[in-house]
């Protein structure tokens, strides 16, 4: 009888300890958020147009195109995303000079933040540029320039956590570095139209996982 009581007390203590541990840790499903579809394939819900350049949806694709002013233009997310894993597809037509900004803010058409370059061949697609600041942080070496498929669909992945930035183009690692200034920043995701005119880029499957 005494042994049974001791066993019951021991089991109760173990149960309480396990319950306390689970309460602190929480279920594993809470630790990872589901990916967010930033572009719904129908309209520009969740985005804001900055500037006079053209942004529109056609056959489930998001298209950016130079307007008559031939100036910079930005399409920014309404929400800020600090730590994330972003993937999207793009196809360049005409000049194709564009980019994907992260932790960015836009005042008129002046952007603050960091751009993952989307550009014609041999112009550092996948590299990281700081506008109105230090300019190029990481450029792309010649041996990686061949990963871009001009005029065809490309997959770009951008992962930013704290002060660490990583990019991949069509599954190939492009940049991997840490930067203290980036680590302190916060802001939106933004797509760019470069100035100069003659630019047209198609985008689709814009998915973001918050980390």
* pLDDT tens digit sequence for 119-143: 999 999 999 999 999 999 999 999 9
What is this structure's pTM? Answer: 0.84
Residues 66 and 127 in one domain: yes
pLDDT at residue 67, as a whole number:
92
Q: What is the pLDDT of residues 84-99, one digit of tens each?
A: 999 999 999 988 899 9
pLDDT at residue 94, as a whole number:
81
Q: Taken in order 70, 98, 61, 86, is the CA torsion positive or negative?
A: negative
3-state helix, strand, coil in the chain (%, to 5): 20, 50, 35
Residues 58 and 16 in one domain: no
pLDDT at residue 31, as a whole number:
52
Q: How confident is the model at residue 27 (pLDDT cuts 50, 70, 90)?
A: very low
Q: What is the pLDDT of residues 173-186, one digit of tens each?
A: 999 999 999 999 99
Task: Tell me which residue range forms the domain holding 25.
Answer: 1-31
* Residues 6+ positions from 194 with CB-CB distance below 8 Å: 72, 95, 97, 98, 99
Residues 17 and 38 in one domain: no
Residues 135 and 152 in one domain: yes
**Which residue do the tokens 């550092």 mark?**
124
Q: How many CB atoms sit inside 10 A of residue 111's CB?
A: 22
CATH number at residue 192: 2.60.120.560
Closest by CA to 140, choosing from 177, 85, 195, 112, is 177
CA distance 145 to 149: 10
The structural domain count of the chain equals: 2
Closest by CA to 102, choosing from 123, 79, 70, 122, is 79
CA distance 9 to 202: 66
CA distance 34 to 151: 31
Q: Answer whether 189's CB lies under 8 Å from 47's CB.
A: no
CA distance 123 to 126: 9
Residues 141 and 67 in one domain: yes
pLDDT at residue 35, as a whole number:
93
Residues 23 and 56 in one domain: no
Residues 19 and 46 in one domain: no
Residues 5 and 96 in one domain: no
Residues 62 and 147 in one domain: yes
Residues 6 and 99 in one domain: no
CA distance 206 to 36: 8
Residues 13 and 50 in one domain: no
């Amino acid at each position: 009888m005494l042994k049974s009581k001791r066993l019951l007390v021991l089991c109760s203590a173990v149960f309480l300890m396990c319950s306390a541990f689970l309460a602190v840790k929480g279920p594993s499903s809470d630790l990872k958020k589901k990916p967010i579809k930033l572009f719904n394939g129908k309209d520009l819900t969740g985005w804001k147009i900055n500037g006079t350049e053209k942004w529109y949806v056609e056959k489930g694709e998001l298209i950016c195109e130079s307007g008559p002013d031939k100036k910079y233009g930005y399409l920014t997310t309404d929400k800020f995303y600090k730590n994330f894993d972003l993937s999207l597809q793009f196809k360049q037509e005409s000049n194709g000079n564009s980019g994907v900004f992260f932790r960015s803010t836009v005042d008129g058409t002046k952007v603050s933040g960091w751009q993952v370059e989307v550009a014609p061949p041999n112009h550092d697609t996948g590299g990281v540029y700081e506008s109105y600041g230090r300019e190029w942080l990481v450029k792309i070496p010649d041996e990686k320039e061949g990963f871009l498929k001009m005029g065809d669909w490309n997959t770009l992945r951008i992962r930013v956590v704290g002060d660490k930035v990583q990019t991949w183009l069509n599954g190939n690692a492009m940049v991997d570095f840490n930067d203290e200034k980036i680590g302190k920043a916060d802001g939106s995701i933004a797509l760019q139209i470069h100035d100069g005119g003659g630019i047209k880029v198609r985008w689709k499957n814009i998915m973001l996982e918050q980390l």
